[in-house]
Copies of this chain bind each other. A is one copy, B any other.
């Protein structure tokens, strides 16, 4: 038996990756839900027929018998659409930041806007399967994690949990992302001539993804220094994480902690001590790759994901698989 799946925001980069990953699956029927045609369709060869297109309305949703809707939309659009989609009986997987923080207050602080659907925050499940798998299976409103926090939490949380992080000295997360993380809407900051042969830091110590890391890693705000950077490339996130260690005397011991924590996890891969992933290792895959170096009390962890896959569309599909009772890896390996 198949599943009927809707996508809003299908022209954006995350939307395109949802189509790329879902199209080859025979058990999935896709519906592209036209919300605002703010971006042009790409030129296509003769005879091309993509997935069906329907209006983004409750009627069309019901008529198409859609089970689950991916929202690859800005947070304000997600807040507008979620209530009536849920009411129409479909599950929602939201890729925006709308439902990632637990309270309207926290949302206001970090997103500098009012939350218009505060009542839904309680029921939203944070979709990091390696940490919340059971809740995800039962979710009706799934909040897909941010790209930076996915790479950060998978790297940091097991070590905090294991008690080897000297939290008093603080944890530094120096994060670098490709340009597709900023979305497809044209802007000066993401124009070719501004980005090529350039590299820049932004959101120093106040990125809106910080609270997602605090909520899931166990760190306090005063313990965590995060800065984002824009890489001159299309896709990929690499985070270099620094901390001082307690009760550790080699990189091997840190690798062992990861191996134990992630045993059986299909999408987290650990490297041998002293080896670290580059972006090539994870581009166009749903893997989060993690490597470690250690030297006399100082540790460095490198965590890498594809921001559009494990950082967006891929993890969203991993969550969908769980929510629909399908094999978690389906369509992702």
Chain A 266-277 interface 0/1 with B at a Cβ cutoff of 8 Å (1 = within): 000111101111
The distance in angstroms between the C-alpha atoms of A294 and B170, with both chains bound, is 15
* A-side interface residues, number (CB < 8 Å): 78
Contact check: which of B192, B229, B240, B270 meets A192 at CB < 8 Å? B192
Taking a contact as CB atoms under 8 Å apart, the answer to whether A269 and B190 are in contact is no
* Any B CB within 8 A of the CB of A259: yes
In the complex, residue of chain B having the shortest beta-carbon distance to the beta carbon of A236 = B199
The distance in angstroms between the C-alpha atoms of A238 and B228, with both chains bound, is 13
Taking a contact as CB atoms under 8 Å apart, the answer to whether A259 and B196 are in contact is no
Chain B residues positioned under 8 Å from A278 (CB to CB): 43, 198-201
Task: Please report which residues of chain A, range 217-259, place their CB below 8 angstroms from some CB of chain B when the two chains form the complex.
Answer: 221-222, 225, 227, 229, 231-236, 238, 240, 242, 244, 255, 259
Nearest CB of chain B from residue A11's CB, rounded to whole Å: 10
* Any B CB within 8 A of the CB of A331: no
Contact check: which of B168, B199, B280, B294 meets A176 at CB < 8 Å? B199
Contact check: which of B172, B193, B199, B236 meets A172 at CB < 8 Å? B172
Taking a contact as CB atoms under 8 Å apart, the answer to whether A197 and B283 are in contact is yes
Known: A269-B45, A270-B45, A272-B46. A232 touches B231 (CB 8 A): yes
Taking a contact as CB atoms under 8 Å apart, the answer to whether A188 and B40 are in contact is yes
Taking a contact as CB atoms under 8 Å apart, the answer to whether B46 and A259 are in contact is yes
Contact check: which of B198, B255, B293 meets A204 at CB < 8 Å? B293
Taking a contact as CB atoms under 8 Å apart, the answer to whether A201 and B298 are in contact is no
Taking a contact as CB atoms under 8 Å apart, the answer to whether B180 and A269 are in contact is no
Task: Please report which residues of chain A, range 148-197, place their CB below 8 angstroms from some CB of chain B when the two chains form the complex.
Answer: 168-170, 172, 174, 176, 178-180, 184, 186-188, 190-197
* Any B CB within 8 A of the CB of A289: yes
In the complex, residue of chain B having the shortest beta-carbon distance to the beta carbon of A302 = B201
Taking a contact as CB atoms under 8 Å apart, the answer to whether B188 and A188 are in contact is no
Q: List 4 tightest A-B contacts by C-beta distance, closest first.
A: A45-B269, A200-B278, A204-B293, A174-B174
14 examples of A-B residue contacts, CB within 8 angstroms: A40-B188, A44-B281, A46-B272, A47-B269, A196-B197, A196-B233, A197-B234, A197-B283, A198-B278, A199-B236, A200-B238, A206-B295, A222-B298, A225-B242
